[in-house]
Structure 1
Amino acid sequence: MSDEIEIKLTEDEAWVLFEFVRRFSDTDRLSIADQAEQRALWNLCCIFEKTLHQAQDISYEEFIAQRRDRLRDEF
């Protein structure tokens, strides 16, 4: 598996994101039920933008495809 990163969330962000992901897990539908979910997702995206760094020698699409391949379940 790849290296680990650490992200910090407020307790409110964590609970709101937990509920968002739990609801998706139960329904297989991604939908914003409250503006707080949108805000928490925006905040998470900002954290990722500050934390993650792409390899410069390949296109973004290829880079993401490689990451998906490494994360995908093996059947």
Structure 2
Amino acid sequence: MKEREVVVRLSHDEALVLFEWLSRTDERTSDFADLIEDQAEQRALWNLTALLERELVDPVQAEYRTLVDQARSRLRDEQ
């Protein structure tokens, strides 16, 4: 059986914030490991991180932290 693909569209801000979060959680595997019930979940998250990394140029920019902060600010609900 051929595997079906799922296409998800994200705004640039969503992709950048999600990439940052996924990267951070991967670096803190001991804190995050309790949430992983199956190695397949970890693999899916790694694959998603790799897909986002291929699409985004922001992570290699000198002002990466600023770009993430700005994206977070735009995504937050207004208070």
Query: What is the TM-score when the length of structure 1 is the normalising length?
Result: 0.54
Determine helix, strand or coil for the equivalent of 2:35.
coil
In structure 2, the residue corresponding to 1:43 is in which secondary structure?
A: helix
Structure 1 runs of 4+ aligned residues shifted over 2 Å read none
Aligned length: 48
Q: Which has the higher contact order (CA 8 A, sep 6+)?
A: 2
Residue identity (%):
48
Query: Which of 41, 44, 50 in structure 1 is aligned with 2:48?
Result: 44
The CA distance in 2 between the partners of 1:4 and 1:45, in whole Å, is 15
In structure 2, runs of 5+ residues without a counterpart are 1-9, 13-33
> Is there any run of 5+ residues in structure 1 with no aligned partner, and where?
6-29
Q: Secondary structure, in 3 states, of the residue corresponding to 1:74? A: coil
Q: CA RMSD in A?
A: 2.5
- Decide which structure has greater helix share: 2
